Structure 1
């Protein structure tokens, strides 16, 4: 039977518009250049070297990396003012000054700094001064840390503005690791709830503010179940398991005789190693023929 032929079915207008739009997008995409984003013949972007963390007090840092308990946000603190009563900044800048003189002029650090300077970890006191450019003016800022008896560390950063010493960061943490990454300052250490936190501070033109804060929670994953040994087989596929064979010191035990009880069983023959002992059976002896009558 021949199928009737007729004019082709009309494509609805919305569907045709969608097909044309898809084809147009395909044409535009194919003209955008190489998959890498570079046009043919275009210059390759220059490679940049990422700044690596520089630990400011390696001897005071724990062996395992851990992040900072935390740090008050400088953005919520009042704008920093120069330290009143601070010594005059010499031509050599903060690098030419006594760190303790600067700390004593800071009301927030004067009392902790009374513990005096220390040159090795494990003793409360003022750590050796760290100098690093955090503002991008090629002049190093003074980074000071004071360890307390509780294990916490107080951190302060000072810069020079119009010849005056200005504190631009105050924070603290529980045995944190302090690193300079380029012009950023990173404070990492454990949190009170057992997690980890990393706070990155960056110069905003007036002070060091929080650029990023990453907090992680430590979770304990269940240990995988130990593999269990397969249970010993207690039965054979077709029935009960055979009893274990026992052997005497001289050799394997002979198998019991299967001869009928009417005649004496012959002694078993020696068995070959590795197999059951063969059994020899004997027929009952024939009775002697009767002699003539009257014979003795």
Structure 2
């Protein structure tokens, strides 16, 4: 005698076969989804282009710098004065107006005078987030400049000092943190109704924050402004 489980299995299989044969054309039966489109892979254009003999320097390699004169106690970036960090950068590069160090001369003067004239200091309040994934917070700073531009800089503690691992400036609309990414949203010059959105991510090889994703996004006119973060967000 066959086991009960074997007999029932054979019966169910037979019933399934009958249903498939008789129910295909009825209501609720199986219907064809139509022909499946053929997958199209990438097609290389201009395969005759010559190979690059001298690859450019990796992006981000020159964007990291050690901040002279700044000491970090116990690897905690909260122990440093954010204004003192930017003042140290200005002192090390007093004439730089372009590139990663670039600041407007007016902004550099205001930074030097932050202690004497705190009401005009262009260094905004700091934020602290772990962006490198090592369990320690990074220092995130913003510096307001003329022509509605803002400089964004990120610093990480290393060997008792402070390393700047990211520097960018633009007509920035909003800055967000999503996971380990720092997302910078800026006005798209010459394209009304759109904005640039760049996600800066930590790169272990370069030991720097690099623009991992860069895109142009259409802005909806009805979009509501982002809520102002509370003081708790900076802790």
Partner of 1:258: none
Q: CA deviation at 1:145?
A: 0.7
Does 2:203 correspond to 1:199?
no
Q: CA deviation at 1:154?
A: 0.8
Q: CA deviation at 1:96?
A: 1.2
Deviates most, 173-182 or 123-132: 123-132
| d(CA) in 1 for partners of 2:102, 2:86 | 6
| d(CA) in 2 for partners of 1:81, 1:96 | 19
Change (3 A) 1:218 1:178: closer
Which 4+ runs in 1 deviate beyond 4 A?
none
Query: Larger radius of gyration, structure 1 or 2?
Result: 1
The total of aligned residue pairs comes to 143
Change (3 A) 1:180 1:216: closer
Change (3 A) 1:215 1:88: same
| d(CA) in 2 for partners of 1:90, 1:145 | 22
Written as runs of structure 1 = structure 2, the 5 A alignment for 1:7-18 is: none
Change (3 A) 1:142 1:76: closer
Deviations 1:89-144 (A, max 9, x none): 112621111001111222327863542469xxxx7711011111100112111111
2:110 to 112, 115, 130: 115
| d(CA) in 1 for partners of 2:122, 2:63 | 28
| d(CA) in 2 for partners of 1:95, 1:131 | 8
Unaligned stretches of 5+ in structure 2? 1-57, 94-100, 221-235
Written as runs of structure 1 = structure 2, the 5 A alignment for 1:194-273 is: 194=192, 195-205=194-204, 206-216=207-217
Change (3 A) 1:191 1:105: same
**Conserved 8 A contact 2:75-2:157:** no
| d(CA) in 2 for partners of 1:80, 1:175 | 21
2:76 to 84, 88, 93: 93
Partner of 2:65: 81
| d(CA) in 1 for partners of 2:60, 2:161 | 23
Change (3 A) 1:129 1:76: closer
Query: Which secondary structure does the structure 1 equivalent of 2:125 belong to?
Result: coil
Q: Which has the higher strand share?
A: 2
| d(CA) in 2 for partners of 1:188, 1:79 | 20
| d(CA) in 2 for partners of 1:101, 1:197 | 31
* Alignment TM-score, normalising by the size of structure 1: 0.43
Q: Which has the higher helix share?
A: 2
Deviations 1:193-227 (A, max 9, x none): 122110001001200001101114679xxxxxxxx
* Alignment TM-score, normalising by the size of structure 2: 0.53
Partner of 1:181: 178
